[in-house]
């Protein structure tokens, strides 16, 4: 019964955990972090009430990351570059023509804009806009209130937008 | 003059809500009255409308990073194997 519940809670969240682990700990440590998170989740599953498994797992992931003595090290420069430059995965729908046009303007500048953010702003931006977490899930992953997530996210996006202003101006004819 | 000041106040009010409007996150939804007020402002303010379009384009570009960076299938498989070993008692 415990095993059944554990699978039901954990298996749908494995990809999310891997994404968030890469954002918090970097690509090279993500697998170790998720594996240790799963081990700790298994040990504590009998105390889990079954509600909000993703929030439960993200809290364990954050605590595991801290206890593994890794400082919160949001996506490194290399990680950000690999987000932007990687080819679409097989089966991913190609973007629309308009998106591709904007991509050609945005890709490099966006990468630079994200890299230029302070770590705490960049991490929130990546968790929400790349890893697709909700505000509450990002708050769980970081151990901060939702209001802090919203404030950092807003400032991160404002800075990215400001950084991209010349790009948007240059692309004006395509919008 | 009054119209200009009213517009500036609305721009300030809207700037604090545009991202929440676009995100529709369950933790910070705008209410119906706020949505109507914001949409009415966006319809008449070029500057705020342009900001909304830019936020949307940034969000769209970033969400495509996610699509291109799916976790390594080997890592996903490995984690499923970890789950199997945990429930079998092979891993403590």
pLDDT value of residue B47 = 94
Residue A106 lies inside a defined structural domain of this protein = yes
Cβ–Cβ under 8 Å, residues A34 and A17: yes
Bigger pLDDT: B6 or A92? B6
The residue behind tokens 């950092």 is A152
Report ipTM (2 d.p.). Answer: 0.89
Same domain, A132 and A56: no
Cβ neighbours, 10 Å, residue B51: 20
- Nearest Cα of chain B lies from the Cα of A106 at a distance, in angstroms, of 8
Residue range of the domain that includes A49 = 2-67
Residue A165 lies inside a defined structural domain of this protein = yes
Chain A CB contacts of B53 below 8 Å: 175
Mutation target for A interface from B67, B78, B90: give the one with most A CBs within 10 A: B67
Same domain, A50 and A6: yes
pLDDT value of residue B16 = 94
Nearest-Å Rg of the Cα atoms of chain A is 18
Contact residues, B window 52-81, toward A, CB-based 8 Å cutoff: 53-55, 57-72, 75-76, 78-80
Task: Report d(CA B92, CA B88) in Å as an integer.
Answer: 10
Same domain, A30 and A113: no
CA torsion angle A34 A40 A42 A44 (round to 10): -140
Same domain, A92 and A8: no
Chain B CB contacts of A125 below 8 Å: 62
The residue behind tokens 């498994």 is A53
Residue A112 lies inside a defined structural domain of this protein = yes
Same domain, A49 and A118: no
Chain A CB contacts of B70 below 8 Å: 15, 89
pLDDT value of residue A135 = 97
Encoded tokens for A107? 């890709």
Same domain, A110 and A148: yes
pLDDT value of residue B70 = 83
Encoded tokens for A43? 């040990």
pLDDT value of residue A93 = 47
Residue A128 lies inside a defined structural domain of this protein = yes
Number of domain units in chain A: 2
Q: Which residues of A25-39 are buried (b: 16+ CB within 10 A; e: fewer)?
A: bbbebbbebbbbbbb
| pLDDT tens readout for residues A4-61 | 899 999 999 999 999 999 999 998 899 999 999 999 999 999 999 999 999 999 999 9
Q: Does the distance separating the beta carbons of A10 and B61 come in below 8 Å? A: no
| pLDDT tens readout for residues A112-170 | 999 999 999 999 999 999 999 999 999 999 999 999 999 999 999 999 999 998 888 87
If you average pLDDT over residues B7-33, what whole number do you get?
95
* Nearest alpha carbon to residue A115 among A150, A149, A163: A163
Same domain, A82 and A168: yes
Residue A15 lies inside a defined structural domain of this protein = yes
Same domain, A97 and A132: yes
Q: At residue A66, does pLDDT exceed 70?
A: yes
* Nearest alpha carbon to residue A113 among A95, A126, A101, A132: A126
Q: Does the distance separating the beta carbons of A31 and B27 come in below 8 Å? A: no
The residue behind tokens 């918090």 is A24
pLDDT value of residue A149 = 98
Of the residues A67, A101, A119, the one at which a domain ends = A67
Same domain, A44 and A129: no
Give the chain A residue nearest B80 (alpha carbons): A11
Cβ–Cβ under 8 Å, residues A119 and A40: no
Residue A72 lies inside a defined structural domain of this protein = no
| pLDDT tens readout for residues A95-113 | 555 566 566 667 788 999 9
Q: Does the distance separating the beta carbons of B62 and A110 come in below 8 Å? A: yes
Residue A24 lies inside a defined structural domain of this protein = yes
Same domain, A84 and A163: yes
Task: Report d(CA A48, CA A75) in Å as an integer.
Answer: 30
In this prediction, residue A2 has a pLDDT band, given cuts at 50, 70 and 90, of confident
Cβ–Cβ under 8 Å, residues B79 and A30: no
Same domain, A58 and A86: no
Helix residue ranges per DSSP H, chain A: 2-10, 14-25, 27-44, 53-67, 77-85, 97-115, 119-125, 135-142, 146-170
| pLDDT tens readout for residues B21-76 | 999 999 999 999 999 999 999 999 999 999 999 999 999 999 888 877 789 999 99
Cβ–Cβ under 8 Å, residues A121 and A156: yes
The sign of the CA dihedral A140, A146, A148, A154 is positive
- Nearest Cα of chain B lies from the Cα of A80 at a distance, in angstroms, of 9
The residue behind tokens 């949001």 is A74
Same domain, A59 and A105: no
Chain A CB contacts of B87 below 8 Å: 3, 6-7, 42
Write the CATH number for A26. 1.10.1740
Residue A18 lies inside a defined structural domain of this protein = yes
């Amino acid at each position: 019964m415990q095993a059944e519940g554990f699978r039901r809670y954990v298996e749908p969240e494995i990809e999310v955990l891997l994404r968030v682990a890469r954002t918090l700990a970097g690509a090279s440590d993500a697998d170790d972090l998720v594996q240790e998170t799963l081990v700790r989740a298994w040990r504590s599953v009998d105390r889990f009430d079954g509600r909000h498994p993703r929030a439960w797992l993200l809290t364990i992931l954050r605590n595991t990351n801290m206890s593994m003595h890794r400082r919160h090290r949001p996506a490194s420069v290399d990680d950000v570059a690999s987000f932007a430059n990687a080819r679409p995965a097989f089966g991913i729908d190609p973007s629309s023509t308009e998106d591709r046009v904007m991509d050609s303007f945005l890709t490099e500048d966006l990468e630079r804009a994200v890299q230029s953010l302070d770590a705490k702003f960049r991490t929130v931006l990546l968790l929400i806009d790349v890893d697709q977490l909700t505000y509450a899930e990002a708050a769980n992953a970081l151990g901060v209130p939702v209001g802090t997530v919203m404030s950092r996210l807003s400032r991160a996006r404002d800075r990215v937008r400001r950084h991209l202003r010349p790009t948007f101006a240059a692309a004006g004819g395509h919008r | 003059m009054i119209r200009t000041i009213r517009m500036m106040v609305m721009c300030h009010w809207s700037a604090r809500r545009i991202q929440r409007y676009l995100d529709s996150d369950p933790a910070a939804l705008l209410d119906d009255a706020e949505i109507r007020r914001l949409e009415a402002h966006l319809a008449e303010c070029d500057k705020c409308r342009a900001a909304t379009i830019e936020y949307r384009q940034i969000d769209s570009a970033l969400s495509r990073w996610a699509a291109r960076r799916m976790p390594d299938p080997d890592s996903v498989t490995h984690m499923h194997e970890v789950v199997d070993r945990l429930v079998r008692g092979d891993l403590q």
